[in-house]
């Protein structure tokens, strides 16, 4: 086995290791993209839930304010007489 064979073997090993690294890089990148897509889906779900909660809360506040105004208008003569 001469120096040329040693160099050829070394280069072959380097090539194989680089291929393994590339395959691992692609696998990890694909996994990260899947995680990112799942996080984006969850963020959309949470945004939708947040909008519904704000809408429900705002509606309740409006209903309570209307009720308060109604009660004050109805009972103001009894509540604020001198």
> How many CA atoms lie less than 13 Å away from 59 in the CB half-sphere?
6
Burial class (CB in 10 A: 0-12, 13-18, 19+), 26: exposed
d(CA 70, CA 63): 10
Is the pLDDT assigned to residue 10 strictly greater than 80? Answer: yes
pLDDT at 5: 87
What confidence tens digit (pLDDT) does each residue in 21-50 have? 999 999 999 999 999 999 999 999 999 999
């Amino acid at each position: 086995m001469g120096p040329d064979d040693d160099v050829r073997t070394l280069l072959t090993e380097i090539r194989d290791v680089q291929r393994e690294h590339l395959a691992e890089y692609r696998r990890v990148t694909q996994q990260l993209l899947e995680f990112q897509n799942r996080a984006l889906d969850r963020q959309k779900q949470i945004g939708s839930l947040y909008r519904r909660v704000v809408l429900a809360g705002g509606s309740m506040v409006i209903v309570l304010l209307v009720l308060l105004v109604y009660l004050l208008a109805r009972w103001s003569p009894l509540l604020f007489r001198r």
